[in-house]
Chains A and B, each alone.
Chain A
């Protein structure tokens, strides 16, 4: 017995020693050898890097008034990791939060889903470790409840975050653009100036490393790198002129719509003729840019992207045939090609090319006249003859080259995204277009248009298709004639037309227009001045330009815009301009008016277009008149332009 106990006890001793040495060895391994790895895992557990968004730069108008700025909105965010740790995956928390916010719990959980294939909006596109904002602009009372009852809302926080604020509401919505979260979840400018100057406006986000507990509540801050606020963007937009322009455009579209026509959209542009700066730019219909803040509601999104396309910035993205506003280009081209500037030309009721008779507008024979009168009354047949003669001479298309010199058929390079290029059709374009569409055209020529109910129209379309199938690649004299009066396949944007008229008005300098004029740092110090670059010079002698300007000054006095400008104090502000009425088969005409003033020494260009608005004198010219009145304070208006700018 005395021998047995010690030996058996020794066995236990050794066993205990083995077990405890194992523990110590393993402890050494876990804490010292693998300590670094576990420390990293622990840091991943309890340290979160929270991006501190930089305050976005403001967008100011020409006189320093904010068009877009920021305000603090109580934002409720949810930490997805903390939610998932809860026994029911946070369902009860979300239900309570939904009840507090008065929103369906399903919507809140939808906002927390990570975006991916097969996941519809709304969803979270950001980092899985970052708290997800689920509601913005929450009333302070509700935010306080969330903050003060962390046990009821584990993983939920409410904090003020800056959101975009538009003190003038819908004003200049298309110009300013909007913010939306991108593929990586960061909010960025998606349109307009917000997108074009994203790099300046964004600033640099800071970051904060915080220690959180397992419920996602922040315990303390470890490190903080403050954000660099975004720069301020000063534009040449005058908010008052912009307001005048938008109001005039909306009234013109509505008025045209009431008068039996079905006007639906339009655009207007005000440029500084001598600098190429944009003073106002309006597109109709508009929208309220604030619908984007806080994540757009699905219904709003459908409305914005649906019929009517209110998101479309028609001033730079809309394209229409320019119609008679184009005649300044045709005149310059004809004179450049040798037609005498001061010559006299016959304006018959129609002009015959081959077996087709091209009628004057309204079919009237207006007799012999000079070019000034041809522009004032907008004679078509004189330009048909110019075009026909040029077409007969050969294939260098002087009218197209002149159109390109006026900046058509190419983007203006304005500092706005998504600009349309317009179209200057010529022989090469016609051939390429025919080749692209030949199969379809020839099929239509064979089968006709069985679905078209109007039999006359079906027959007409079939005949056109047959002609196009066989000879559609030929740039005909008819095409040239149509081109000379801005009809047919030629397309321009309102901004293109405005800068062309600015070039005409300022003596031949073609600018690449700019909306922004200066970038300042958050403290107000100028960082960069933005000047509209010169894109080219018109290959037109000063004498011709001077002649054209004088000619257009007659249009509101005694020409096609006389009715629209009846009673306008042209002696105080001589306005020069040109109407345009673009015909579209089966739809109401597109109404244009392109103008500049004061006619003798032009300072501004105002262009308006009303789609399906009727003739140029009916819809667009009255809108332009209203804009001029508003800018200069005529006809009982307060002047929108400040003293030194009138």
Chain B
């Protein structure tokens, strides 16, 4: 049994590696024409994303070797550091991209603290909700309240950027962990009601920024203004739809080659798969993500401590929510809110956070017995 667990978990690592590799290729395909048109090295982003993945592998190896005690011990300082970096984004150190102040420039490196914050939140909630001092089935009231407070902190900071997509993913992650932790149905219903009321209040009290309102309205009818506000949504749909069953072939998409989809290497990288690899490739990508989640949930079930279960399930909830929001917005199931496609989208912070999460899963599984 120990031997079996010591072996690498290929059912987790293989799809994660395949996704990362696909990401490098798709990012390359998306950026090649842009860079060429700007007169720069078309391989720029190929190299950058390869470096991101390699960095991610290091970030995966570190937690993968840790035992639960070490993970637990490092969680509060990591969470605190993460919250501080989120707060720093809101200071003049932060940089605004696409209407959200979500970037931090540190010594030539550009970081997006909201990406590692998702992992930090999962670990923190697992610590808070995983304690069972009296051997009970559910976390006790104070534990839940503390967890809610811990979740509210990053949520609030991210809403101040504002980054609706990341907030949605975090809220879904926290909600999923409360469900898995065994919080009573009544409480969950109450929380869901409060969340809905809060969302309604944000809408009707005008707490959202104009570009967010615009995006939500556009979602209702993306073709209403295909050249204006609905351009991204319309172009994304058209580009994915034009791929057909087998796509145009890697590097051979005319929509991608013609740079019709904005942000194509980051939030809209799925359109490259849709156009160039067709339904076969795009569905495979979705299936690979599902395989990672499946494996994560399996690890959660086999875990022996509530803490371990919550960590694995939390990561699954996070990646599931993020995948659904990202692919959903590309194919017209969700409004355009910028979140990256896990493992695939260009971006050091996102890739590193996802691969580190895989490392955490590896660590959780190792102590399953």
Interface residues of A (CB under 8 A from B): 1, 3-6, 8-9, 11-13, 15-16, 19-20, 22-24, 26-28, 30-32, 34-35, 37-39, 41-43, 45-47, 84-85, 150-151, 211-215, 217, 219
Given A1-B136, A213-B259, A219-B258, A19 contacting B320 (CB threshold 8 A)? yes
From 113 to 132 in chain B, residues with beta carbon under 8 angstroms from any chain A beta carbon are 132
Q: Are A42 and B242 in contact (CB under 8 A)?
A: yes
Complex CA distance for A19 and B333, rounded to whole angstroms = 11
From 10 to 62 in chain B, residues with beta carbon under 8 angstroms from any chain A beta carbon are 33, 37-39
If A13-B297, A24-B287, A26-B332 are given as contacts, then 12 extra A-B residue pairs at C-beta distance below 8 Å, sorted by A number, are: A12-B313, A27-B331, A28-B279, A35-B245, A39-B244, A41-B242, A42-B241, A45-B235, A46-B258, A47-B254, A85-B227, A212-B258
Q: Are B332 and A9 in contact (CB under 8 A)?
A: no
Q: Are B179 and A11 in contact (CB under 8 A)?
A: yes
Smallest beta-carbon distance B290→chain A, Å: 5
Q: Are B301 and A6 in contact (CB under 8 A)?
A: yes
Q: Are A16 and B290 in contact (CB under 8 A)?
A: yes
Asked whether B141 is an interface residue with its Cβ less than 8 Å from the other chain, the reply is no
Please list 22 pairs of residues, one from A and one from B, whose beta carbons are closer than 8 Å in the complex, sorted by A's number.
Answer: A4-B137, A5-B182, A12-B180, A19-B320, A20-B286, A20-B323, A23-B328, A24-B287, A28-B279, A32-B244, A32-B245, A39-B241, A39-B242, A41-B238, A42-B239, A42-B241, A42-B242, A42-B275, A46-B260, A213-B258, A219-B254, A219-B257
Proximity string of chain B (248-275) to chain A, C-beta cutoff 8 Å, 1 when within and 0 when not: 0000001101111000000000000011
Picked from A15, A31, A47, A85, the residue with its CB within 8 Å of the CB of B274 is A31
Given A8-B182, A22-B333, A42-B242, A16 contacting B293 (CB threshold 8 A)? yes
Which residues on the A side are within 8 Å of B227 (C-beta)?
Answer: 84-85
Which residues on the A side are within 8 Å of B293 (C-beta)?
Answer: 16, 20
Complex CA distance for A47 and B328, rounded to whole angstroms = 28
Asked whether B237 is an interface residue with its Cβ less than 8 Å from the other chain, the reply is yes
Complex CA distance for A85 and B234, rounded to whole angstroms = 14
> Nearest A residue to B238 by beta-carbon distance?
A41
Q: Are B238 and A12 in contact (CB under 8 A)?
A: no
Given A4-B137, A24-B286, A214-B260, A30 contacting B332 (CB threshold 8 A)? yes
Which residues on the A side are within 8 Å of B112 (C-beta)?
Answer: none
Complex CA distance for A529 and B201, rounded to whole angstroms = 85
Complex CA distance for A15 and B286, rounded to whole angstroms = 15
Q: Are B241 and A37 in contact (CB under 8 A)?
A: yes
Which residues on the B side are within 8 Å of A84 (C-beta)?
Answer: 227
Given A5-B180, A31-B274, A42 contacting B37 (CB threshold 8 A)? no
Complex CA distance for A151 and B37, rounded to whole angstroms = 8
Smallest beta-carbon distance A155→chain B, Å: 13
Given A1-B306, A30-B331, A8 contacting B259 (CB threshold 8 A)? no
Q: Are B255 and A46 in contact (CB under 8 A)?
A: yes
Interface centre among B235, B242, B257, B324 (most CB of A within 10 A): B242
Smallest beta-carbon distance A52→chain B, Å: 21
Asked whether B218 is an interface residue with its Cβ less than 8 Å from the other chain, the reply is no
Complex CA distance for A209 and B137, rounded to whole angstroms = 68
Q: Are A35 and B243 in contact (CB under 8 A)?
A: yes
Picked from A6, A16, A32, A41, the residue with its CB within 8 Å of the CB of B279 is A32
> Nearest A residue to B279 by beta-carbon distance?
A31
Which residues on the A side are within 8 Å of B338 (C-beta)?
Answer: none
Residue total for B at the interface (Cβ-Cβ under 8 A): 59
Smallest beta-carbon distance B142→chain A, Å: 18
Which residues on the B side are within 8 Å of A35 (C-beta)?
Answer: 241-245
Which residues on the B side are within 8 Å of A12 (C-beta)?
Answer: 176, 179-180, 297, 313, 316-317
Given A12-B317, A45-B260, A219-B258, A34 contacting B241 (CB threshold 8 A)? yes
Q: What is the count of residue pairs linking A and B with beta-carbon distances less than 8 angstroms?
A: 157
Smallest beta-carbon distance A459→chain B, Å: 72
Asked whether B164 is an interface residue with its Cβ less than 8 Å from the other chain, the reply is no
Which residues on the B side are within 8 Å of A32 (C-beta)?
Answer: 244-245, 279
Q: Are A9 and B282 in contact (CB under 8 A)?
A: no
Q: Are B306 and A5 in contact (CB under 8 A)?
A: yes
Given A4-B138, A4-B182, A16-B293, A215 contacting B259 (CB threshold 8 A)? yes
Proximity string of chain B (297-336) to chain A, C-beta cutoff 8 Å, 1 when within and 0 when not: 1001100001001000100110010011001100111000
Complex CA distance for A80 and B118, rounded to whole angstroms = 44
Given A19-B324, A45-B258, A212-B258, A9 contacting B309 (CB threshold 8 A)? yes
Complex CA distance for A388 and B282, rounded to whole angstroms = 100
Asked whether B283 is an interface residue with its Cβ less than 8 Å from the other chain, the reply is yes
Which residues on the B side are within 8 Å of A46 (C-beta)?
Answer: 254-255, 258, 260
Q: Are B286 and A30 in contact (CB under 8 A)?
A: no
Asked whether B344 is an interface residue with its Cβ less than 8 Å from the other chain, the reply is no
Smallest beta-carbon distance B171→chain A, Å: 15
Asked whether B278 is an interface residue with its Cβ less than 8 Å from the other chain, the reply is yes
Q: Are A27 and B301 in contact (CB under 8 A)?
A: no
Given A45-B238, A46-B254, A31 contacting B282 (CB threshold 8 A)? yes
Complex CA distance for A444 and B320, rounded to whole angstroms = 95
Q: Are B245 and A8 in contact (CB under 8 A)?
A: no
Interface centre among A22, A30, A151 (most CB of B within 10 A): A30
Picked from B244, B297, B324, the residue with its CB within 8 Å of the CB of A31 is B244
Which residues on the A side are within 8 Å of B352 (C-beta)?
Answer: none
> Nearest A residue to B246 by beta-carbon distance?
A31
> Nearest A residue to B320 by beta-carbon distance?
A16
Complex CA distance for A23 and B322, rounded to whole angstroms = 13
Smallest beta-carbon distance A77→chain B, Å: 19
Smallest beta-carbon distance A138→chain B, Å: 24
Smallest beta-carbon distance B235→chain A, Å: 8
Which residues on the B side are within 8 Å of A11 (C-beta)?
Answer: 179
Smallest beta-carbon distance A595→chain B, Å: 68
